[in-house]
Amino acid sequence: ILNVEQSPQSLHVQEGDSTNFTCSFPSSNFYALHWYRWETAKSPEALFVMTLNGDEKKKGRISATLNTKEGYSYLYIKGSQPEDSATYLCAPLADNDMRFGAGTRLTVKP
Amino acid sequence: EPEVTQTPSHQVTQMGQEVILRCVPISNHLYFYWYRQILGQKVEFLVSFYNNEISEKSEIFDDQFSVERPDGSNFTLKIRSTKLEDSAMYFCASSPQGLQGYGYTFGSGTRLTVV
């Protein structure tokens, strides 16, 4: 079973703050890592798919890095806005199987 | 933008009854998945499906569960004899390829309540 840990579990920040959170996963048999953004009452929305050690991806104010050797990925949000409030899920793929972390719930206060 | 469609959005069923959850994946996608989330818990993988057969399934996906792609557009999840602990949000997802670098597109989910 692929153990995926995300921290922190929840985060409250002020509008304009920059923030980051972590996804940890076993580094063996790694194939790819997905990040999803999940707003309440909606379906998870794909943010990034990362495969190579040292990968960095960016989408607007959100970026992510990947370290496959030590088994972690960071998601960064620069200048958080209230509309960034959501749960951010990471999901590594290994052994032909994708498992989700429990997510980091981000709340951005205006 | 293409969507994954799930019906119904909410289903209430009695324990022991069979339920079928329906999904219409994006038309040119080849890989299909079911996940579920029990209230307050993680999103859990159930099964992946490719080329008209199951490619992977989790320990949750026991003999009570089955999947089918009956007509080339629908992708269904059947639970034969529902238990109280099957109450969850069930999400269908599809992707154009399997593991190579494509995010999954999720449907908006079916909330199953077993009473």
Give the tens place of pLDDT for each residue, B48-91: 999 899 988 999 999 999 999 988 889 999 999 999 999 999 99
Question: Which residues from A are below 8 Å from B51, CB to CB?
Answer: none
**Does the CB of A98 have a partner CB in chain B at under 8 Å?**
yes
A47, A51, A100 member nearest B43 (Cβ) = A100
Q: What does the block give as tokens for B97?
A: 């390829």
More confident residue, B11 or B96: B11
A14–chain B nearest CA distance, Å = 25
User: Are A21 and A9 within 8 A, CB to CB?
Assistant: no
Residue-level pLDDT at A2: 62
- Residue B43 and residue A89: Cβ atoms within 8 Å? yes
Cα dist from A77 to A12, A61, A106, B61, B105, whole Å: 13, 6, 10, 36, 22
Return the exposure string of B58-80: e unless at least 16 CB atoms fall within 10 Å of the residue's CB, then b: beebeeebebebeeeeebbbebe
pLDDT tens readout for residues B97-113? 765 567 889 999 999 99
Nearest to B31 by CA among A33, A96, A89: A96
B19-28 pLDDT, tens digit per residue, is: 999 999 998 8
Contacts for B49 with CB less than 8 Å, ≥ 6 apart: B31, B32, B33, B55, B67, B69, B75
pLDDT tens by residue, A66-110:
999 999 999 999 999 999 999 999 998 876 677 888 899 999 999
